[in-house]
């Protein structure tokens, strides 16, 4: 019993990331009808937002401490981060310690701007082009974004540790210990998903967007400038992917190709959930995450070797063949 619970928990953090990325992909696809292969890159950029903030916070000035010497006998050079100088020892250190959660605030405006620029500068021109062209141009963009990050941050993964207080384990259920940060990540993703759904459900803006997802032309006829709203939607989708990336850093050290790695899986998630269905994307994300974690159990691997590597693809292939619309997909989307 405990083993099963543990596997479910293990699946939840990856599932959360899948769900968040797939949610953004679906938003973009549902509203704009664009297949965005650069969405994984947005996730990656989010992760590097927290890397960047961490570096900014660690910017230091150097002072020479004459009372101490280093091992060569020279006066020791002490680096003091500016934040510690400004906010004092304890507050400054706490700020640095909490750089990953703080990066959320840092990442939101950046991701919104990136999303806006991407939509206005590039994607907009591809609404009327075939899906193949959209895939190709966003694939090119993904390569470009990934290479830019590589040029700035190098090819090696960069550690972005969780705050001290959240880096231990917690007892989530009696007798089950679980890394605290993964619990945080899961809760965080629920909050983000909830926020997106609430936004679509309870605001006029969201209503128009939902109507637009159902039937773009009619909404256009009502005299509502749907395009402008869709632009913002793209920004929000980029933001969701970015946030997923920011918080994922402590689970897996960010590297430049993490976007591509997640992209393929996220597409599979979207397809399984049903192209254009937001609840489908979220459900499929968690489901596949958990499934993957179950497939990684030792006895399962002993039974069917390699199943953990391919389970997601296998499920996707079966779903696509048996139920082409996906779990919760609507009829007539891209058929």
Instruction: Closer to another protein by CB, 19 or 137: give it.
Output: 137
Question: Applying CB under 8 A, which part among 56-64, 91-99, 130-138, 246-254 lies near another protein?
Answer: 130-138
> Cα torsion for 52, 189, 115, 222, to the nearest 10°?
-160
- Does 305 help bind another protein (rule: CB under 8 A)? yes
In the complex with another protein, which residue's Cβ is closer, 145 or 247? 145
Among 3, 165, 214, 334, which residue sits at the site for another protein (rule: CB under 8 A)?
334
125 binds another protein per the rule CB under 8 A: yes
For another protein, the closer CB: 79 or 129: 129
Contact between residue 108 and residue 45 where contact means Cβ atoms under 8 Å apart: no
- Least CB distance from residue 317 to another protein, whole Å? 6
Q: Which of 268, 281, 288, 291 is the binder for another protein (CB under 8 A)?
A: 268
Using rule CB under 8 A, residue 75 touches another protein = no
User: What are the start-end ranges of the H helices in the chain?
Assistant: 2-32, 39-57, 82-87, 89-97, 99-121, 131-153, 180-202, 204-214, 216-221, 226-248, 258-273, 278-295, 298-303, 307-322
CB distance 231 to 134 below 8 Å? no
**144 phi/psi in degrees, rounded to 5:** -60, -50
Q: Which residue has the tokens 């994922």?
A: 248
Quote the least distance from Cβ 260 to another protein, whole Å: 7
Query: Taking each helix axis from N to C terminus, what angle separates 204-214 and 226-248, rounded to the nearest 10 degrees?
Result: 100
Query: According to CB under 8 A, which one of 2, 85, 147, 225 is a site residue for another protein?
Result: 147
What is the Cα–Cα distance from 271 to 204, expressed in whole angstroms?
A: 28
**Is 117 a binder of another protein (CB under 8 A)?**
no
For another protein, the binding residues (CB under 8 A) are 35, 122, 125, 130-133, 135-137, 139-144, 147-148, 150-151, 260, 264, 267-268, 271, 275, 305-306, 309-310, 313-314, 316-317, 320-321, 324, 334
């Amino acid at each position: 019993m405990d083993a099963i619970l543990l596997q479910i928990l293990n699946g939840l953090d990856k599932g959360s990331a899948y769900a968040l990325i797939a949610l953004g992909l679906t938003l973009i696809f549902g509203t704009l009808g664009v297949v965005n292969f650069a969405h994984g890159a947005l996730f990656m950029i989010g992760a590097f937002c927290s890397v960047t903030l961490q570096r900014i916070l660690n910017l230091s000035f150097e002072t020479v401490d004459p009372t101490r010497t280093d091992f060569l006998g020279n006066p020791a050079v002490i680096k003091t981060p500016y934040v510690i100088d400004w906010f004092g020892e304890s507050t400054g250190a706490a700020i640095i310690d909490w750089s990953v959660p703080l990066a959320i605030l840092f990442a939101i405006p950046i991701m919104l701007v990136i999303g806006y620029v991407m939509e206005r500068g590039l994607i907009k021109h591809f609404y009327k082009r075939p899906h193949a062209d959209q895939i190709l141009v966003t694939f090119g963009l993904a390569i470009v974004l990934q290479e830019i990050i590589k040029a700035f941050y190098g090819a090696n993964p960069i550690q972005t540790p969780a705050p001290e207080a959240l880096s231990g384990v917690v007892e989530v259920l009696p007798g089950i210990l679980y890394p605290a940060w993964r619990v945080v990540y899961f809760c965080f993703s629920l909050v983000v998903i909830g926020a997106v759904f609430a936004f679509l459900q309870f605001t006029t803006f969201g209503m128009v967007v939902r109507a637009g997802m159902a039937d773009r032309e009619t909404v256009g006829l009502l005299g509502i400038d749907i395009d402008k709203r869709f632009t913002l939607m793209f920004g929000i989708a980029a933001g969701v992917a970015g946030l997923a990336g920011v918080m994922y850093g402590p689970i897996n050290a960010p590297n430049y190709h993490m976007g591509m790695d997640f992209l393929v899986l996220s597409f599979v998630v979207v397809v399984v959930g049903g192209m254009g269905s937001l609840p489908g994307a979220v459900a499929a994300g968690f489901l596949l995450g958990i499934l993957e974690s179950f497939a990684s159990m030792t006895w399962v691997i002993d039974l069917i070797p390699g199943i953990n590597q391919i389970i997601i693809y296998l499920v996707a292939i079966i779903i696509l063949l048996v139920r082409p619309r996906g779990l919760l997909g609507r009829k007539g989307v891209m058929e």
